[in-house]
Structure 1
Amino acid sequence: MKHWLISFALLLCAQSAVADIVVTTRTLRPGDLISESDLGIKAGERTDSYDRMRDVVGQEARVALYPNRPIHFDQIGPPALVDRNQIVSLRYSGKSLMITTDGRSLERGGIGDRVRIMNLSSRTTLFGIVQADGSVAVTQ
């Protein structure tokens, strides 16, 4: 009897976890904002896919999303606040030093994204983190 229970438990663990996953109801292009009407729920494997619609609504598609396919974690992100070639405010904060200047974004990015930027004064390429106000906090 014990061997049967152990075999049954191992069989259950070996099967893929089937749960509700979030899918799109229409094709979304990169840069499209995702609304609730673009989404549906479907039974499927939940490995690296969203399972709650509220986690997806308001996000931006980073790649093309096709109908009835799961939305993976790396396929969407926060909406871009900074576009490529946009002039942005650069801010650097040190121990007792604060520098603010203008720069040109070399990449698109949303809140918290690391982007390459060019300091317009020195033409130096830097890296920074996009802030909620659309400025970029220089990290390097």
Structure 2
Amino acid sequence: MFIALPCELPGETMYKLFRNLILVLSVNLLTFTASASNLQSLAEVEHAAYVFTLAQAQARFNNPEITLTPLDKRLRLQNCGGGLEAFTNRDLTSAGNVTVGVRCHQPVSWTVYLPLQIKVMQPMVVIARPVSANHVLTEQDLRIEQRDIGNLRQGYMASIAAVVGQQVKYSLGLGTVIQANHLRPLNVVRRGESIVLVASAGTMEVRMQGTAMADAGVGDRVRVRNLSSDRVVEGIVDSPGVVRVTM
């Protein structure tokens, strides 16, 4: 603030004007100080949200990392005399983005919401070199890397042994995290291929020759033409070249 004073005023008048100006500035400064003391520290609000989220995450994950988006520094909240309470409207059972509320009950009731991120690093199987659609995965195609599980809504594979021998549905680039929906079991029965059709009835078992009418993997249902009767039956692939039906 700038105030211009006429230089030609008598000395005593100038003195009174300066004295009054200092008084006004002092009162304004005291008023500002008193007002600031009634404001809630935003750092304390953020800390309450952080501690609450960390405790929730630690109860479910090992070594979670919490990232908090700070409140807008222009926010003005009445100082909370009854203590800050952090809460969430849902269980923090998964990593990723979450929202946590912090509220005050007295002397003035208010609530703010803060966005946070729960980051959890876990070892998982990723593609070590690009593979094309229908490729059967080998150990050389895969490696283990630490990745954030919060970015993986479809899950991940933790063991290379569980992935080797499976077929990818489509092309996958370097570093892609392997998820269950990327894979299908290797087809062990091929369309038009001669297979053994095993029919079970109680303790009896009959084996016949058949022809597969579609590609299928172990555990898949597949239609087979019985070469003895020329009938088409449906069975479950039991092992490479073997389809089992129940009579």
What TM-score do you get using the length of structure 2 for normalisation?
0.47
Deviation at 1:72? 1.7
The structure 1 residue matched to 2:132, chosen from 23, 28, 31, is 28
The structure 2 residue matched to 1:116, chosen from 214, 223, 227, is 223
* 1:72-102 superposed Cα distances (whole Å, 9 cap, x missing partner): 2133244322111111110111025433222
Per the alignment, residue 144 of structure 2 pairs with 41
Per the alignment, residue 135 of structure 1 pairs with 242
Deviation at 1:6? 3.1
Per the alignment, residue 74 of structure 1 pairs with 181
Q: Which runs of 5+ in 2 are unaligned?
A: 1-46, 58-65, 67-91, 97-119
- Give the Cα–Cα distance (whole angstroms) in 2 for the partners of residues 85 and 103 of structure 1: 9
Q: Is the 8 A contact 2:190 2:216 kept in 1?
A: yes
Letter in 2 for 1:65: S
Q: Secondary structure at the match of 1:84?
A: coil
The structure 2 residue matched to 1:8, chosen from 35, 45, 54, is 54
State, as a whole percentage, how many aligned pairs show the same letter. Answer: 26
The structure 2 residue matched to 1:64, chosen from 136, 159, 170, is 170
Per the alignment, residue 105 of structure 1 pairs with 212
CA gap of 1:110–1:7, structure 2 versus 1, over 3 A, is closer
Deviation at 1:7? 4.1
2:133 is equivalent to residue 53 of structure 1 = no
Q: Secondary structure at the match of 2:122?
A: strand
Q: Which runs of 5+ in 1 are unaligned?
A: none
Q: Is the 8 A contact 2:194 2:241 kept in 1?
A: no
- Give the Cα–Cα distance (whole angstroms) in 2 for the partners of residues 116 and 87 of structure 1: 12
2:122 is equivalent to residue 19 of structure 1 = yes
Farther off after superposition, 6-15 or 105-114:
6-15
Q: Is the 8 A contact 1:127 1:139 kept in 2?
A: no
* Structure index of larger Rg: 2
* Larger helix fraction of residues: 2
The two structures, once aligned, show a CA RMSD in angstroms of: 2.8
Farther off after superposition, 79-88 or 105-114:
105-114
For this pair of structures, how many residues does the alignment match? Answer: 137
